[in-house]
Amino acid sequence: MTPNDKAERAKQVLGDPVMKQAFEDIRMRYVEQLEAVPMSDVETQHEVTLCLQLLKRVQAQLQRYVSDQSVDKARAKQDTFIEKMRERFTA
């Protein structure tokens, strides 16, 4: 899968209302679990916290794929502009 393919798929996932709702529902379930865990159960608190962090990382990675594509497009546009200017001023 090319970086462009990844970025497009990531954009679809992040923009899909069902996926947005799924991420939110999962997050809310973990928050509810964390609120229900007894203060003395540090191990479970830690596990649930890790799950929340991982969920956030998945979303952040998808966003990174989209951002990387935007940066690559801007870089390509800039490179094309620079090349055109070089041709114009050296010719």
Reported as a single tens digit per residue, the pLDDT across 52-79 is: 999 999 999 999 999 977 656 666 676 6
pLDDT tens sequence across 22-31: 999 999 999 9
Q: Give the pLDDT of residue 17.
A: 97
Residue with tokens 């990675």: 61
Task: Name the helix (H) or strand (E) containing 65.
Answer: helix 42-90
Handedness of CA 11, 8, 57, 36 (dihedral sign): positive
Question: What's the pTM?
Answer: 0.71
